[in-house]
Amino acid sequence: MRRLLNRARRAYHLHCAREDARLRGIVVPVGVWVCQCRHVSLDRLDFVDHSVVCHT
pLDDT of 38: 77
Kind and range of the H or E run holding 4: helix 2-24
| pLDDT value of position 16 | 73
Return the ∠ at Cα 35 (arms to 30 and 27), rounded to 5°.
40
Contact, 13 vs 44, CB < 8 A? yes
pLDDT at res. 28: 66
Tens digits of pLDDT across the chain (56 residues): 778 777 777 777 777 767 777 777 776 677 777 777 878 888 888 888 888 888 77
- The H or E element spanning position 36 is none
Residue 5 DSSP code: H
Report pLDDT for 4.
77
